[in-house]
Structure 1
Amino acid sequence: MPNALKVFQAFDRALISEVPTDDSASLERKLAAAAGAFADRDGWLAPHARISILRKTAVLLEGRRDEFEKTIAREGGKPLADAIVEVTRAIDGLVDAADELRNFAGREIPMGLTAASAHRLAFTTKEPIGVVAAISAFNHPLNLIIHQVAPAVAVGCPVIVKPAATTPISCLKLVSLFWEAGLDEAWCQTLVTDDNELAERLATDSRVAFLSFIGSARVGWYLKSKLPPGTRCALEHGGAAPVIVDRSANPADIIEPIVKGGYYHAGQVCVSVQRIFVHQSLMTDFIERLEARVAQLRVGDPLLKETEVGPLILPRETERVSAWIDEAKASGTRIIGGGRFSETTLLPSVLVNPPADAKVSKLEVFGPLTCVYGFTELDDAIALANSLAYAFQSSIFSNDIKSALHAARRLDASAVLINDHTAFRTDWMPFTGRRQSGYGIGGIPWTMEEMSEDKMIVLNHVK
């Protein structure tokens, strides 16, 4: 098939399908269609129509959940048990966006507070910002698209979404559901390409009012630097999420959530547990328990219901993560577990006290490993947790409320989870990286705010 993108199963690299790609001409057609739809204010959908489309899309997705679950597992390599959760979240996200419109409104601005403002009534209304360009990542190939597209549809922005080249099928299937639910194609389109230059043209076109980017910090910050004046954006990158295990914590109670947060989707999550700082008095017990639980993780084909850890998205990623582990091992780091299951799949590992300058200590691994470091003073652990250029979500496990709140106040993070892992998220809570980890705020209601603008209307009613 000419001009097609080959999509492979992440686990065994078997070909799933060949997806037609877009070129420069099709990008121009889609941008013109989106800009034209937005320019026709009489054609804007009323809130009740947008609510109806979002709810109908949720119903259609529910009816095809098995198909979407298997698609996520195949193209993205996410274990089926977690793919089931992703589809459930996606359905809820559509409903959440529809429900949010019941309270999505402006407010009255008080007048008459001075003589000059007397006899006036002022209020704000919400308007869509304009055309949205959404560039997405592979690791949640359905739900990340929901995070970007559902808010745009809800507020009335035409959206062009570019899925990751490795996982476009979930996105294409979802957009077709929006069309089936009654949304005109001009209001929700896809750009399928592995051409970075074409993706950059989408992001930086002057007709785009808002860029939603989920992916690497290097690409996100580069695109932000290229945006035309006035274009707004939200960037969601990653980090090396820290977890502190306070001396009052009970290792028996906390291993399960830490393992879930660290090895879920083979660690390919932007807030995956990566750096675990454990009080020295607990180190031996904690490591023994962590080693035992990690050894029990079932690794293999993501389409099998029992699989807990599947492949990395590309074989080259297994090579990269393996090289980082080897670097740490060469520096004397103790490695627990690890090894290779297949070309695409690594066995989970634990690295004990890797050097501070090792890649696994200072960069986002995006692989099935965690690093454990000992500490004696809580403030020292907090300083180490805050020492990188990334700041997203963090957590502390503690049975001492004083220590927990002490850490919560001092950890440099957009969210501090107490007695929970760093990868916890609901789709209606704010989700944002600080510093190099991101810009703007995610989460469906918060993204709706980002994709809208307030317009103030002032009525002079002097008789």
Structure 2
Amino acid sequence: MSRAATTAGPDVRTFWVAGRPTTAEATFEVRHPYDGRHVASVAVPSAAQIEEAVAAAHAVAAEAAALPAHRRADALSHVARRLGERTEELAALITAENGKPVKWARAEVARAASTFRWAAEEARRWSGELQRLDTDAGAEGRLAVTRRFPRGPVLAIAPFNFPLNLVSHKVAPAIAVGAPVIIKPAPKTPLSALVLGEILAEADLPPGSWSVLPVLNEAAGALVADPRLPVVSFTGSGPVGWGIRDAVPRKHVTLELGGNAAVVVCPDWSAPPDLDHAAARIATFANYQGGQSCISVQRVLADRSVFDALTERVVAAVEAQRTGDPWDDATDVGPLIDAAAADRVTAWVAEAVAAGAKVLTGGGRDGATVEPTVLVDVPADATVSCEEVFGPVLVLEPVDGVAEAFARVNDSRHGLQAGVFTRDLPTAFRAHRELEVGGVVVGDVPSFRADQMPYGGAKESGVGREGVRYAMIDYTYERVLVLTGVAL
């Protein structure tokens, strides 16, 4: 991405202030990660336009909170339907700005539509609960009605790796609970969020209840600090996320900060068909999105009894992953977001090799595209093992038994999700009890995510939860109404 203080021309993408399309003189450029070609120029909101958006969100908060459930649900259903109708257009836009293969971009659009569809259903169910209080003699005739109300407008800061669906996971729950939302997309990938603005503009929502502001990262601090935005929902890097939380300790901050997801392959997963299945899933989800997923497979901890057979199969499955032009439906692995990301990933691989690791396949690079890479004999303190690679790199390690495997999973500052290949029910429940992560996926890789389930991490992988209903809870607080003199 490059910036230029130019006068906006007819080819410049507009942004959305309080639900209205708006432009500005300053622009920045979005380029295609695969070949660097120009994709679009995007207008950058001025300080006055940002103020207008925040003031509108603050002013409409009470009206948005009082919006009837059917209007919230109808608006969300409209967005879900329109996302489905515009799938090919949006998938092409995601591939253009992000570089992910178009088949994965189509899957992202489908998930975004599902996210809004779930939000529409949850908006209709958002009713609260009744609790009789006459369980003690002193509270006879009393009934509590507990409902949840918005904390206030939400600042939604989204990353580049899922530029539509991770925006949707912040916007849809906000609309569902009646909270105004200001969307700050990643500067490298703002285009699909701007199209989402077009669709939101078609829905019956109060003016001011949403804005899409493609501000540059250095200008985001003022939005984070603004007291009129009491909720900050951030997905991205750990240092930035924890910096936000430290900067505004009195705000409600939710953070999804990634991890270095591990897979455990247990000794009972030893039959050839089982190993073939595990290898295929590991290879696919170590490399999908170029490895740029918070729950991409990074570490494989295989019982020594299956390690050699699994390694052979994983290497073959990784070598079958096709890299190349993301516009080709046959491409499995596209480029990283930019050359700087590729520089970092290949430097981490080189560091591990210098410390004694062996490359079983991959390790090369063409521009921003890094070959799917498999490493063994990686020192435990190597960066590629300890930190989030966010690239198509896989570390294989033998372990002696489930106890050692689970200890290795937990020997990390991160704890987002883990996968456990086992058919043993006690082992599955042991994994759920012992693994210090936000989610345990049994019989599959940690990369599985259903958009309605709670999603988030432990330790340095963040605080709070996404997943429509769980984000709705995060965006709201409980308010109790006690009725007195009720005949129960």
Match of 1:449 among 473, 479, 483: 473
Which residue of the partner structure matches residue 267 of structure 2?
A: 247
For 1:183 and 1:162, the matched residues in 2 are separated by 19
Secondary structure, in 3 states, of the residue corresponding to 2:341? helix
Q: Confirm whether residue 336 of structure 1 aligns to residue 360 of structure 2.
A: yes
When residues 419 and 33 of structure 1 are mapped into structure 2, their CA distance, relative to the original with a 3 A threshold, is same
Does the CA contact (< 8 Å) of 1:5 and 1:193 recur in 2?
no
In structure 1, distance between residues paired with 2:451 and 2:265: 27
Runs of 4+ in 1 over 6 A off after TM superposition: none
**1:413 counterpart SS class:** coil
**Counterpart contact for 1:179–1:185, Cα < 8 Å:** no
- For 2:37, the equivalent position in structure 1 comes to 14
User: Is contact 1:204–1:228 with CA below 8 Å preserved after alignment?
Assistant: no
Matched residues in 2 for 1:318 and 1:384: separation?
A: 27
Q: What's the CA shift for 1:302?
A: 1.1
> In percent, how many aligned pairs have the same letter?
36
Q: By how many angstroms is 1:246 displaced?
A: 1.1
The equivalent residue for 2:125 is 103
Post-superposition offset of 1:444: 0.8
Equivalent residue for 1:232, pick from 252, 261, 267 = 252
Aligned to 1:417: 441
Q: Distance in 2 between matches of 1:15 and 1:162?
A: 22
| Structure 2 equivalent of residue 390 of structure 1 | 414
Per the TM alignment, residue 204 of structure 1 is displaced from its structure 2 partner at its CA by: 2.1
**Which stretch shifts more, 274-283 or 121-130?**
121-130
1:80-91 paired onto structure 2 within 5 Å: 80-91=102-113
Number of aligned residue pairs: 460
Matched, 1:429 2:449: no
Once the two structures are superposed, what CA deviation does each residue of 1:390-429 show, in whole Å capped at 9, x if it has no partner? 1110011123334343333222112111110011000000
AA at the equivalent of 2:38: L
Counterpart-to-counterpart distance in 1, 2:188 and 2:399: 40
Query: Partner amino acid for 2:193?
Result: C
The residue that corresponds to 2:57 in the other structure is 34
TM-score by length of 1: 0.96
C-alpha displacement at 1:119, in angstroms?
2.8
Alignment match, 1:205? 226
Structure 2 residues without counterparts, runs of 5 or longer: 1-5, 8-25
1:126 CA displacement: 2.7
C-alpha distance 95-401 of structure 1, shift in aligned 2 (>3 A): same
Match of 1:166 in 2: 188
Q: Could you tell me which residue of structure 2 aligns to residue 25 of structure 1?
A: 48
Following superposition of structure 1 onto structure 2, how do residues 245-284 of structure 1 map, counting pairs within 5 Å?
245-250=265-270, 251-284=275-308
Gap change, CA 1:378 and 1:111, over 3 Å in 2:
closer
Amino acid at match of 2:234: F
- The alpha carbon displacement at 1:282 in A equals 1.8
1:188 matched to 2:188? The reply is no
Counterpart in 2 of 1:79?
Answer: 101
| 1:216-250 CA-partner distances (Å, limit 9, x unpaired) | 11111110111152x21210011111111112213
Structure 1's unaligned 5+ residue stretches are none
Deviation at 1:385, TM superposition (A): 1.0
Cα 1:462–1:74 change in 2 (3 A) is closer
- Give the whole-Å Cα distance in 1 for the aligned partners of 2:303 and 2:134: 60
Q: CA RMSD in A?
A: 1.6
Q: Does 1:135 align with 2:164?
A: no
Residue range with higher mean Cα deviation, 416-425 or 97-106:
97-106
User: Counterpart in 2 of 1:113?
Assistant: 135
Q: Report the alpha carbon displacement of residue 301 of structure 1 after superposing the two structures with TM.
A: 1.3
Aligned 8 A contact 1:206 1:228 in 2 = no
Indicate conservation of the 8 Å contact 2:302/2:398, yes or no.
yes
Higher alpha-carbon deviation: 158-167 or 95-104: 95-104
CA distance in 2, matches of 1:154, 1:400: 40
TM-score, normalised on structure 2? 0.91
Maintained 8 Å contact 2:322/2:331 = yes
How far apart are 1:50 and its partner, in Å?
0.8
SS in 2 for 1:238: coil
Decide whether the 8 Å contact of 2:143 with 2:486 is kept in 1.
no
Equivalent position SS for 1:186: coil
Once the two structures are superposed, residues 327-348 of structure 1 have per-residue CA deviations (whole angstroms, 9 ceiling, x without a partner) of 1111121102224442110110
Counterpart of 1:368?
A: 392
- Equivalent of 2:167, from 114, 124, 145? 145
Contact 2:70-2:124 within 8 A present in 1 as well: no
1:403 alignment partner, one of 424, 427, 438: 427
Kindly provide the amino acid, as one letter, of the partner of residue 229 in structure 2.
V
Cα drift, residue 185 of structure 1: 4.2
Contact 1:428 1:443 in 2 (8 A): yes
Change in CA separation of 1:300 and 1:443 when aligned onto 2, cut-off 3 Å: same
Residue aligned with 2:282, SS? helix
Residue 216 (str. 1) matches residue 240 (str. 2): no
CA contact (8 A) 1:353 1:374 kept: no
